Amino acid sequence: MAQAGKPEENQTEAVAPQAPVKEQPTQDSPQATEDKPAPKSWSEDLLGFPVHGYLSARYIARFAKGGSEESDQDIVETLSLDLGAADRNRVTGHFLGRLSEDIDGRSSRGRSSVFDSITDSYNNSVNGRLYHAYLDVHRLPALEFVRAGRQPIHDTPVFAYLDGGRLETVELWDQKLQVGGYGGSPVHLFESSAEGDVLVGSYLQARPWKGGRARVDWMHARDRTTLGVESNDLFGAALWQNLGESVQLHGNYTFLEDKSRDFTVRGTYQEPEWDFRLQGSYHELLEPQRDLALELDPYFLVLQEHSPFRQTRWLASKGFGEHFVVDGGFDIRRLKDSSDEGTFNREFERYFLTPSVHDLLFKGLSFSVTGELWDSNGRDIASAGADLSCEFNKTLRTSIGTNYSLYKYDYFLDRERDRVQSYYVKFVCKLTEHWRSDLDYQFEDDEFDEYHVLRVGLTLSF
């Protein structure tokens, strides 16, 4: 969920950035980069290995009007580096870090603000964060890769983030069987000490039949907190199946200790000749989630116990000719026991329809309108949103629009905002082959406050 009144950069502070589960090798899997050679660059001639990445700097100004009169200004710099190419270098590496500065010195003055994040709890207004820093060794006997350092793992039943090591075997036999394992100290970015914390796991995956992939996981997390030690074992089983080129099916089931935890099933049907796509999913939390190791429930200290629920989602998209597309769908969320409903854990129904027009008057111009119907706690609320985007000669892209959220969550301030209408305008300009600038302004209006957020950025890609 987006964090109310805060920039996107601050939304990764509680835990490391997460990504959706992918059915193909993820970006953190070295085999995903070995399928096609990486292009040569100037750095390969100079250093003997290629270096790719980006360096970005962004100024962020935020203002609140209405219930509070607050302001905040920050500068955020991010550096991402990919060192080496898996098809040419035995050792490759990756780095991702960021440096932020509260330039109006709010944290040093000791004043609280609606815009405060956890970084404002430090005495120094300059704050650095190391997100990724790892090396991969390729083409070892019987091993696909070995990785060491600070690393994310996305294919595990829950997102794993650790300082340690990971290895995976090559595919064995006709079933393309692979065994992998990882272990180390879990990364809790704002914890004063990781002493006593452990995160280890192993997995077995295979492609035993055509179009299918199966995987089983075990994860053990040990987390030392001020209240004691939480030690949990999580087991997961997942299955992917392609039926021809049009149908993809996926399901996963997890067990926490000796009890079922949750399961998800998802199916996708797509027909390119008809310009049609349909996806349906069902997720159910089977048991109440209480105080667990941080990896299994990073928001317990704020949200407390999470009650069992089930959620169904359907999405459909259909194109009509070259210029017109209609997207639509619905979400239905129900609690196992309606009396458990509370902040951050609600029942609702949401239906939406988005017709959009592309390249109608001239190439690069797109316009879409979204109509929504919310039904929650006996309230029926209709809303509308719109987006107008234009791309000029692939060098300048602009967009302006509005959207609506019945519920918008702020995990850092432990509150829920209702009926939030947002308005935005964005500009992205490609200055040269390697330089890009961006500017966006967002205005949010809820029942208590008005928020203004301005971001100005410059990015160098290499």
Residue 76: CATH number of its domain:
2.40.160
Weakest mean pLDDT among 258-262, 301-305, 450-454: 301-305
Kindly tell me if the per-residue pLDDT of 32 is higher than 70. Answer: no
Show the tokens assigned to 46. Answer: 């100079």
CB 154 within 8 A of CB 19: yes
- Quote the pLDDT of residue 7: 34
For a pLDDT cut of 70, what percent of the chain falls above it?
Answer: 82
Within a domain: residue 450?
Answer: yes
How many Cβ atoms are within 10 Å of 440's Cβ, its own excluded?
A: 17
Weakest mean pLDDT among 8-12, 164-168, 284-288, 391-395: 8-12
Within a domain: residue 212?
Answer: no
Give pTM, 2 decimals: 0.80
Show the tokens assigned to 343. Answer: 């902040």
Within a domain: residue 177?
Answer: no
- Quote the pLDDT of residue 9: 38
Read off the pLDDT of residues 206-246 as tens digits, 9 standing for 90 and up: 999 999 999 999 999 998 876 678 899 999 999 999 999 99
Kindly tell me if the per-residue pLDDT of 10 is higher than 70. Answer: no
- Quote the pLDDT of residue 275: 95
Within a domain: residue 104?
Answer: yes
- Quote the pLDDT of residue 122: 76
Read off the pLDDT of residues 305-326 as tens digits, 9 standing for 90 and up: 778 999 999 999 999 999 999 9
CB 16 within 8 A of CB 124: no
Looking up tokens 């109440």 gives 288
Read off the pLDDT of residues 167-210 as tens digits, 9 standing for 90 and up: 999 999 989 999 999 999 999 887 777 788 999 999 999 999 99
- Quote the pLDDT of residue 193: 74
Give the pLDDT mean for 317-345: 88
Sign of the four-CA dihedral 280, 286, 289, 292: negative
Question: What is the number of alpha carbons within 13 Å of residue 20 lying toward its C-beta?
Answer: 3
Split at pLDDT 50, 70, 90, the class of 342 is low
Closest CA to 17 of 114, 129, 100: 129
Within a domain: residue 14?
Answer: no
Looking up tokens 């080129």 gives 245
d(CA 334, CA 346): 8
Weakest mean pLDDT among 54-58, 109-113, 183-187, 298-302: 109-113
Within a domain: residue 254?
Answer: yes
- Quote the pLDDT of residue 105: 66
Q: How many structural domains compose the chain?
A: 1
- Quote the pLDDT of residue 76: 95
In which element (H, E) is residue 303 found?
A: helix 300-303
Within a domain: residue 176?
Answer: no
Q: Give 66's strand partners.
A: 449
Q: How many helices (H) and strands (E) does the chain have?
A: 3, 22
Read off the pLDDT of residues 73-98 as tens digits, 9 standing for 90 and up: 999 999 999 999 988 899 999 999 99
For a pLDDT cut of 90, what percent of the chain falls above it?
Answer: 57
Domain that holds residue 379: 30-133+225-461
- Quote the pLDDT of residue 293: 87
d(CA 393, CA 397): 9
d(CA 290, CA 298): 11
- Quote the pLDDT of residue 229: 85
Read off the pLDDT of residues 366-422 as tens digits, 9 standing for 90 and up: 999 999 998 887 778 888 899 999 998 889 999 999 987 766 655 444 555 667 788
d(CA 156, CA 219): 8
Q: For all residues of the chain together, what is the average pLDDT?
A: 84
Read off the pLDDT of residues 103-152 as tens digits, 9 standing for 90 and up: 876 544 445 666 767 777 777 888 999 999 999 999 899 999 999 999 99
- Quote the pLDDT of residue 460: 97
Within a domain: residue 210?
Answer: no
Show the tokens assigned to 23. Answer: 């059915």
Q: What is the dihedral of CA 111, 114, 120, 123, to 10 degrees?
A: 0
CB 180 within 8 A of CB 167: yes
Question: In 276-298, which positions are buried (b, 16+ CB within 10 angstroms) versus exposed (e)?
Answer: ebbbebbbbbbeebeebbbbbbb
Give the pLDDT mean for 350-362: 92
Kindly tell me if the per-residue pLDDT of 253 is higher than 70. Answer: yes
Question: Which carries the bigger pLDDT value, residue 70 or residue 27?
Answer: 70
Closest CA to 117 of 269, 196, 30, 4: 4
* Three-state SS at 47: helix
